[in-house]
Amino acid sequence: MGKFQFYFLLVLVASMAIIQLSSAGGEGSVPVEECPSACSVRCSATHHRGNCMDVCQDCCGKCLCVPSGTVGNKDECPCYRDLKTKYGTPKCP
């Protein structure tokens, strides 16, 4: 395999990974660096803000998505909606 084919293949694989990551989040997709601000909105109505922020940022980091509003709207982000705890209950706030 020549250098050109190797670099072409490398660029192709990297492009596919970027496309997959960018489409993973769905409608509410956010860059990882915006997870704290998106989770701040999501957790603004709870009395357990610290715990909510920790869990929300973990979910956001995995899904690159946070549903809009303070509750509900989880269909905007199927990955976020479908993450479960070890007990089978919804993980993300």
Q: Which amino acid is at 46?
A: T
pLDDT of residue 31: 86
pLDDT of residue 90: 96
Place of tokens 């803000």: 49
Cα 3 to Cα 9, 14, 15: the distances in Å are 10, 16, 18
Phi and psi at residue 16, to the nearest 5°: -65, -40
Higher pLDDT, 23 or 3: 3
Model confidence over 15-67: pLDDT tens digits? 555 544 444 444 567 888 999 999 999 999 999 999 999 999 999 999 999 99
Model confidence over 62-87: pLDDT tens digits? 999 999 999 999 999 999 999 999 99
What is the b/e burial string over 47-74, where b = at least 16 CB atoms within 10 angstroms of the residue's CB?
Answer: eeeeebbebbbebbeebbbbbeeeeebb
Higher pLDDT, 3 or 46: 46
Q: What is the pTM of this model?
A: 0.69
Distance CA 28, CA 68 (A): 7
- What is the crossing angle of helices 35-42 and 49-63, to 10°? 130
